[in-house]
Structure 1
Amino acid sequence: MVRMLRPFGRAVTYTRWLHLFIAVVAPSLLLFVREAWWIWLIAAAALLPAALVPAVRTVEGLQARLLLTGHRHDSESTDIVAAPSASWGDRGRLVVWLQARLLLGYATMTVSAQLVFAIVDSASAPFGHDSEQSGPFVLAGHAWWHVLLVPLFLAALGVTVLAAGHLITALALRLLGPSRAERLAALEERTEQLLERTRIARELHDSIGHALTVAVVQAGAARAAGDPAFTDRALSAIEETGRAALEDLERVLGVLRESERPVDGRPTLTEADRLLESARASGTKVDAEMTGPLDTVPGPVSREGYRILQEALTNVLRHAGSVPVRVRIALADGTLTLDVRNPLTADIPGPGRGSGLRGIRERAALLGGHARTGPTEGDWQVHVELPVS
């Protein structure tokens, strides 16, 4: 019983009823001037040119959101569009919506009014009051048992209110919902947001992960060496790497705080020496060779190339320690090639494992290139090819 009565404790039940009554206010006022059935035809015809105005869809959408969904942040509210009509398909659905709202509003108003009259008549019948209204639910006479019909009429009124409210809401979701073009645009926007979040997460993983790895390796090496001069160099490397990581963190947080702020200041391959020196300062012997005009590599490719190199060196420091590393960066025939090799150790992760290696492959794929990571001839290799044209 409580479950059946629960809908009548929600405000949206009555705002939906109000929404239907608003649709028939104008023709109802005209009926006071002249009672004629053709007034409803005039009202229906007047809605046709109104539906051609793009802003009418905005008004109807906002009104439906407010009265039919109660401003809830759920699928019902977001599936009702409050944007102007952008196509003839939108206008056509708006015509059907306006006509359906008028028809359903008239039916709901008529049935509700008749049930209210019947309730009043049935409640007053035992006291000998004559009803001034007539209708299908109003009974003639003053029989005492008419009062027993009051609960039945109340239940019928409640069912009418609930059924009409659910029906008009379903029609609003269908006729005022987004068109195929609007759904596609929303999907593309959502995809862009997800890609941006993934890119930001990858930026933080690569930058902060590299800085922490260098700091841990440097601190461990300084403790093991017990040489004041080496300790000073290690602390300087930790300071420089930490400062660079803080700059990256501040830039990424700035983008998150200001969604319209452009992403700038990200390092490129022209700054690859900073990564190589950081690895060398950690005790790793780095044999690096860079060929080709790297300063001509397009910005997106150069920035992603820098992050790929950073992640590859971070993996070496994290899993292999101070082992010799061979780095080759070449630009030739419209392709940027990055190749990082180091002796294979037991701690090197296998192919396909680790978020860093997966990030390398994802970066390469997004740029139309490909990446290969895994054991090769006794070495661990990260080989990436990126198109630059």
Structure 2
Amino acid sequence: MPRLLQPLTRAVTWTRWLHLVVTVILPLVMALVLPGLVDLTPADWLVIVLQPAPLLVLLALAVPAVRTAEGLQARLMLFPGPHARDASGRAGDDQGVSAAPSASWNDRLRTAAWLVLRLEVGCAVALVSNLLAGLCLSLVGAAFGDPGVSSAYRMPGTAWWYGLLAVLDLAVLLAFVTVVGALMARAARALLGPSAKERLARLEERTEQLLERNRIARELHDSIGHALTLAVVQAGAARAAGDARFTEQALAAVEETGRAALEDLERVLLVLRDPERPAGARPGLGEAGRLLESARSSGARVDAEVAGPLDTVPGPVSREGYRMLQEALTNAVRHAGSLPVGVRLAVEGTRLRMEVRNPLPGAGGTAGLRGGGTGIRGIRERAALLGGEASAGPEGGLWVLRVDLPAR
């Protein structure tokens, strides 16, 4: 019984009924002109409910904004929202109903079909509601001793059991309104749902959001991972060295690296808090020297070779190349420790080539490198998005990372 009565406690049941019943206003206004509202025949009633249809079709075909208006009404009145919650107490959503102007003739035709359907179903609901409400009133009157409360339904006598029939009549009316409202909600999804163009736009927006989230995750991984790796290596080296001067140098390197990581973290957090805010300047290959010095300060012996004009590399390639070099140096410091690391950055024609190599630190380190963690995978993804490629693996006792990117 509680489940049967549940629709009666939901506001959406009554807003759906209202959404349908108000459509009779237009037919009644037009009926004042033709055929009038006196001495109506069945043919007159047919004219009343059908004559607004051509006008509605013409309106939907000529005015794209009609779809917006109908979509907003359907969202508000046909589906649970903040004004009506479902059984779990959660607010409903838009249920796939578009609130944008018609973008194609298919949208206009579907809007026209919706308007006609809403008109005819609304007239039917208004008629049935009027008939059953009048009958309920007469039955209640007969149950209390007045069989002539309604001139349309005069009951043959009076009896208490007319009250039971009144309850049954009311239940039929409420069930009718509930079922028709649910069916119209389904029809709204079919006729007012997003077009193929809108679905494609939403999919593109969702894809952009996922790409941005992945980019931010890579940014944090590269920046914070690099800083933490260098800090751990510096701290370990300073403790092992036991030299005050070396310890001071190590702490200065940790401070500089940490400050840069905090700047990156603040920039990313600002973007997350306010998506409309510009992302701010990101480091490029022109600042590669800072990465090399940071790696050297950790105790690694970095031999760097830079060839070609790095300042001519396009901004996106330069910025992503910086992050790739950062990740490669982080891996080298983490796995190779104080072993020599070779770095080569070169602009050759229309290509930017990067190579980072270091001796394999042994079977344990090799296994870790072979695992292909998120860092190496992130480098490959960055390269692929830029139209380049990246490869990493052991070669003759060395671990070699190669990146080839377009420089034009």
Report the more deviating stretch, 5-14 or 374-383.
374-383
CA shift for structure 1 position 131: 5.3
Q: Distance in 1 between matches of 2:407 and 2:191?
A: 47
- What CA deviation, in whole Å up to 9, does each residue of 1:172-223 have, x standing for no partner? 1111111000100110011011101110111111111111111111111111
Deviation at 1:75, TM superposition (A): 7.5
Cα-Cα RMSD: 2.0
Q: 1:50 aligns with which of 41, 54, 59?
A: 59
CA contact (8 A) 1:117 1:133 kept: no
User: Contact 2:147–2:158 at 8 Å: present in 1 too?
Assistant: no
Query: Partner of 2:365: helix, strand, or coil?
Result: coil
1:61 to 71, 90, 95: 71
Specify the alignment match of 1:191 in structure 2: 207
Which residue of structure 2 lines up, in the alignment, with residue 114 of structure 1? Answer: 131
User: In the alignment, is residue 303 of structure 1 matched against residue 319 of structure 2?
Assistant: yes
Question: 1:41-62 CA distances to partner (integer Å, 9 max, x unpaired)?
Answer: 2222221222121222121111
CA offsets per residue over residues 10-37 of structure 1, 9 Å max, x none? 1111111111112222223555752532
Question: How many residues are aligned here?
Answer: 386
CA distance in 2, matches of 1:97, 1:291: 67
TM-score (norm: length of structure 1): 0.93
Between 62-71 and 195-204, report the one with greater CA deviation: 62-71
- Structure 2 match to 1:218: 234
SS of equivalent residue, structure 2 residue 49: helix
TM-score by length of 2: 0.89
Matched, 1:7 2:7: yes
TM-superposed deviation, 1:132: 3.4
2: CA distance, partners of 1:121 / 1:74: 39
Q: Return structure 1 stretches of 4+ with deviation > 4 angstroms.
A: 29-33, 72-76
1: distance between equivalents of 2:136 and 2:399?
86
Q: Residue 327 of structure 1: SS of its match in structure 2?
A: strand
Residues 341 and 379, structure 1, Cα contact 8 Å, conserved in 2: yes
Asked whether the 8 Å contact 1:118–1:139 carries over to 2, the reply is no
Residue 78 to residue 264, structure 1, CA distance change in 2 (3 Å): farther
State whether residues 352 and 358 of structure 1, in contact with CA within 8 Å, keep that contact through their aligned partners in structure 2: no
- What is aligned with 1:141? 156
Question: Is residue 142–residue 162 contact of structure 2 (8 Å, CA) maintained in 1?
Answer: yes
The aligned amino acid for 1:65 is: R
1:75, 1:320 → 2: CA distance?
Answer: 55
Output one character per residue of 1:68-110: Cα deviation in whole Å (capped at 9) or x when no partner: 1243597751511111222211111110000000011111111
Q: What letter corresponds to residue 80 of structure 1 in structure 2?
A: V
Q: Paired residue for 1:312? A: 328
User: Which residues in structure 2 correspond to 1:1-389 (within 5 Å)?
Assistant: 1-29=1-29, 31=31, 34=37, 35=40, 36-37=44-45, 38-51=47-60, 52-71=62-81, 76-77=93-94, 79-126=96-143, 127-130=145-148, 132-134=150-152, 140-142=155-157, 144=159, 145-345=161-361, 346-348=364-366, 349-389=368-408
Report the CA distance between 1:115 and its aligned residue.
1.3
Question: Where do 5+ consecutive residues of structure 2 fail to align?
Answer: 83-89
Contact 1:93 1:176 in 2 (8 A): yes
Aligned counterparts of 1:11 and 1:95: Cα–Cα separation in 2? 27
**Is the alpha carbon distance of 1:133 and 1:65 closer, same or farther for their aligned partners in structure 2, counting shifts above 3 Å?**
farther
